[in-house]
Amino acid sequence: MSLIKSSLARKYVMALSGLFLVTFLLLHVTINLASVLSPDFFNEASHFMGYNPLVQFLMQPILIIGVIVHFVMGFVLEIQNKKARSIGYVKYNGSANAPWVSRNMIYSGLVVLAFLALHFYDFWVHEMAYKYVEANPEDPTRYYHETVEKFAPIWRTVLYVISFVLLGLHLWHGFASSFQSMGVNNKYTPNIKKCAKTFAVVVPLLFAFIAIYHHLNPITH
Amino acid sequence: MVDGKPNNEQQTTNNYITMKLYLKIWRQKDASSPGKIVDYTLDGVEGDMSFLEMLDILNEELVSKGEEPVEFDHDCREGICGTCSLQINGEPHGPDRLVTTCQLHMRKFNDGDTIVIEPFRANAFPVIKDLIVDRSAFDRIQQAGGYISVNTSGNTVDANCIPINKHDADEAMDAATCIGCGACVAACKNASAMLFTSAKVSQFALLPQGRVEAVERVQNMVRQMDLEGFGNCTNTGACEVECPKGISLTNIARMNREYLSASLKG
């Protein structure tokens, strides 16, 4: 019981849910890359993810729970941390001792959360409507076209790219930080940090590249 | 003077050229009164003075004018007791690294500078008066488990009889150099006390004498830390940068491991 209530438990929850979401990002970007490299494979993978019962009824709920736990705990931590210093400093030189990204995780996280709302509306709500409301028959070839068409409007592409930049900033601190929270700080830490920061740059860049690529290469009928 | 530029000898003597400083100091009558920033101008400050000596000069002026002196904590004035504090221009113990306020020299500032001086801010460190805060929350964390139980009946075994790996002994000693000044809390944007608590957990966790009570120690000290109302750690690393003794974040990671392991053991 003491574990559930303690400040350290909140660190563990943030770290573990964050690491889980990082693994999901890796899977997501891999499948997205297929939409550039091989539309057929992208269709196959998307159809599998969309209709496999294990993915739909076990992994998808776990993912949604992971997202909710991560951002709810983020809000709880932010509120508690603000309460710990109700009278602030007249002069506070935060940049003297900590990088901007580490001090503003709540803001980068809020942008990513707002993006998730748009992203869910764009793809998840559409998918649920297609399958369960309109009860359309299975069509394993529709995904590539649907995805590319989504990026036709410039406003959506720009919003996605901005969100990926903020996602990168969030990962820049969050990914490496999750190891420290779980108690991992040893001779491997410099390399862990290098890998985590590389991930934080490469993965959002790939997401942004895919969005821009589809915007610049629309399907011509 | 060489080619119109000061030579090394003259640069050294520049420390004795006096400075005029504009001080903005938090004044608060007592714990229940609201405080405010009060402006003071102080002339004749020398570079070789310590920051606290500069405040002594200010207080002498205030007393001679019949005004209330600025209250601030100090004791050893050589960086070992952890009594002095002060948030100076937005940083605990000022802009220098690995020094306490009493070790901070005025040569780190320039003539005409404005210096904002505030108490360490955290709800767990309530202001008592002016720049003095109550840091007894740290004492209570220490009392919750920061000790080892030793038989002192006369049969006490010499600690040096137990062989200890040098690496562990060094790390324990590094953790034990924490003077409990509270700069970690003051620097942290969340007012978290994890660097202090983890240093106190680590100094025992690394030694065989400390392992006996390790499970209860980390649980009790973390529980007390939470009860005191400190914030959560978000790994910004500000505490490590501002710590006058260079206590490392590896101690927080060790405490996280110790606590997880202790909780799983029940």
Q: To the nearest 10°, report the CA torsion of B10, B16, B22, B23.
A: 130
Query: Rounded mean pLDDT of chain A?
Result: 95
Confirm if B128 and B137 have CB atoms less than 8 A apart: no
Task: Provide the pLDDT confidence category of residue B43 given band limits of 50, 70 and 90.
Answer: very high
pLDDT given for residue B8 in this prediction: 45
Contact A32/B at CB under 8 A? no
Contact A161/B at CB under 8 A? no
Query: Rounded mean pLDDT of chain B?
Result: 93
pLDDT given for residue A110 in this prediction: 97
One-letter amino acid of A139: D
Kindly state the average pLDDT of the residues A175-198.
97
| Strand-pair partners of B38 | B25
CB contact under 8 Å between A183 and B232, yes or no, is no
Task: Provide the pLDDT confidence category of residue B65 given band limits of 50, 70 and 90.
Answer: very high
pLDDT given for residue B130 in this prediction: 98
Helix (H, G, I), strand (E, B) or coil at B180: coil
Task: Provide the pLDDT confidence category of residue B16 given band limits of 50, 70 and 90.
Answer: low
Residue B99's Cα: distance from chain center in Å?
A: 9
Kindly state the average pLDDT of the residues A166-190.
97
- Does position B98 have pLDDT exceeding 60, yes or no? yes
pLDDT, tens digit, 9 for 90 and up, residues A40-59: 999 999 999 999 999 999 99
CB contact under 8 Å between A185 and B249, yes or no, is yes
Whole-number Å distance between alpha carbons of A48 and A35: 15
- Does position A206 have pLDDT exceeding 90, yes or no? yes
Cα dist from A199 to A89, A148, A178, A190, whole Å: 36, 25, 14, 14
Phi, psi values for residue B91, rounded to 5°: -135, 135
Closest chain B residue to A103, measured at CA: B236
Residue identified by tokens 């860049």 is: A205
Q: Token pair for residue A139?
A: 């069509």
CB atoms within 10 A of CB A143: 22
pLDDT, tens digit, 9 for 90 and up, residues B160-181: 889 999 999 999 999 999 999 9
pLDDT given for residue B159 in this prediction: 81
- Which residues touch A213 (CB under 8 Å, ≥6 apart)? A36
Task: Provide the pLDDT confidence category of residue A221 given band limits of 50, 70 and 90.
Answer: low
pLDDT given for residue B151 in this prediction: 81
- Does position A179 have pLDDT exceeding 90, yes or no? yes
In this structure, what DSSP letter does residue B216 have?
H
CB contact under 8 Å between A5 and B252, yes or no, is no
pLDDT, tens digit, 9 for 90 and up, residues A126-141: 999 998 899 899 999 9
- Does position A125 have pLDDT exceeding 60, yes or no? yes
pLDDT given for residue B11 in this prediction: 44
pLDDT given for residue B217 in this prediction: 97
ipTM confidence: 0.93
Whole-number Å distance between alpha carbons of A39 and A147: 10
Closest chain A residue to B255, measured at CA: A183
Whole-number Å distance between alpha carbons of B40 and B22: 6
CB contact under 8 Å between A102 and B236, yes or no, is yes
Residues of B in contact with A74 (CB under 8 A): none
Residue A107's Cα: distance from chain center in Å?
A: 14
CB contact under 8 Å between A77 and B234, yes or no, is yes
In this structure, what DSSP letter does residue B231 have?
B
Contact A157/B at CB under 8 A? no
Kindly state the average pLDDT of the residues B207-221.
96
CB contact under 8 Å between A97 and B231, yes or no, is no
Contact A185/B at CB under 8 A? yes
Q: To the nearest 10°, report the CA torsion of A184, A188, A190, A192.
A: -70
Strand order in the sheet with B91-92: B36-45, B19-27, B114-118, B87-88, B91-92
**Cα three-residue angle A183-B248-B94, rounded to 5 degrees:** 135
Helix (H, G, I), strand (E, B) or coil at B12: helix
Confirm if B204 and B214 have CB atoms less than 8 A apart: yes
Q: Token pair for residue B124?
A: 């767990």
Residues of B in contact with A90 (CB under 8 A): 24, 26, 37, 116, 118
